[in-house]
Amino acid sequence: MSSPRVVSVVSGSPADKAGIIVDDELLSLNGEKPRDVIQYQLLTDEENLDIEVRRGGLPFDVNISKHPGEPLGVHVHSALFDQIRTCDNHCEFCFIYQLPPGMRKSLYVKDDDFRLSFLYGNFTTLTRFTEADLERVVTEGLSPLNVSIHATDPDIRNEMLRNRRAGPSLRWLKALLSHGIEVHGQIVVCPGINDGAVLDDTLCTVFEQYRSLTSLCIVPLGVSKHSNEPRMRPHSSEESNFVIELVERWQKVFLEFTGRRIVHAADEYYLLTDRPFPTVDEYEGFGMYEDGVGIYRTFEQEFHGRASEATNPSAGFFAWVDGAPAEGYRAERVSPVAVELRKRRAGNVGILTGEYGAKTLEPLIKELERSDIRVIPVTNTFFGGNVAVAGLMVGEDIARALAREPNNDRYLLPDVCLSEGRFLDGMVPEELPREVEVIPTDGIALRQALGVGQ
| Residue 418 in domain | yes
Together in a domain, 190 and 122:
yes
| DSSP at 275 | P
Together in a domain, 152 and 220:
yes
Together in a domain, 170 and 260:
yes
Together in a domain, 361 and 440:
yes
User: At which of 248, 267, 293 does a domain end?
Assistant: 293
Together in a domain, 159 and 288:
yes
Together in a domain, 211 and 157:
yes
pTM: 0.88
At 404, the amino acid letter reads R
Q: Domain of residue 393: give its range.
A: 349-449
Q: How far is CA 295 from CA 47, 271, 428, in A?
A: 41, 12, 26
DSSP 165-228: TTTTTHHHHHHHHHTT--EEEEEEE-TTTTSHHHHHHHHHHHHHH-TT-SEEEEEEPP--TT--
Together in a domain, 239 and 375:
no
* CATH at 39: 2.30.42.10
Instruction: Please state, in angstroms and rounded to a whole number, the distance separating the CA atoms of residues 418 and 267.
Output: 22
| Residue 198 in domain | yes
Together in a domain, 140 and 284:
yes
* Number of domains the chain is built from: 3
For residue 383, the model assigns a pLDDT of 96
For residue 329, the model assigns a pLDDT of 44
- Displacement of CA 381 from its chain's centroid (Å): 22
Residues 187, 147 contacting (CB under 8 angstroms): no
Instruction: Please state, in angstroms and rounded to a whole number, the distance separating the CA atoms of residues 158 and 104.
Output: 31
Q: How far is CA 454 from CA 141, 388, 441, 450, in A?
A: 45, 32, 20, 9
For residue 154, the model assigns a pLDDT of 97
Together in a domain, 288 and 382:
no
| Residue 343 in domain | no
Together in a domain, 360 and 402:
yes
* CATH at 118: 3.20.20
Buried b (16+ CB within 10 A) or exposed e, 282-304: ebbebbbbbbbbbbbbbbbbbbe
User: At which of 27, 44, 76 does a domain end?
Assistant: 76
Together in a domain, 288 and 142:
yes
| Residue 299 in domain | no
| Residue 301 in domain | no
Q: pLDDT (tens digit, 0 to 9) for every residue of the chain, 454 residues total?
A: 789 999 999 999 999 999 999 999 999 999 999 999 999 999 999 999 999 999 999 999 999 999 988 999 999 988 899 988 999 999 999 999 999 988 888 788 889 999 999 988 889 999 999 999 999 999 999 999 999 999 999 999 999 999 999 999 999 999 999 999 999 999 999 999 999 999 999 999 999 999 999 999 999 999 999 999 999 999 999 999 999 999 999 999 999 999 999 999 999 999 999 999 999 999 988 777 777 898 999 999 999 988 878 775 545 555 544 444 444 444 443 333 444 444 445 579 999 999 999 999 999 999 999 999 999 999 999 999 999 999 999 999 999 999 999 998 999 999 999 987 899 999 999 999 999 999 999 999 999 999 987 6
| Residue 81 in domain | no
Together in a domain, 247 and 103:
yes
Dmax (CA) for the chain in angstroms is 67
User: At which of 247, 278, 293 does a domain end?
Assistant: 293
| Residue 90 in domain | no
| Residue 261 in domain | yes
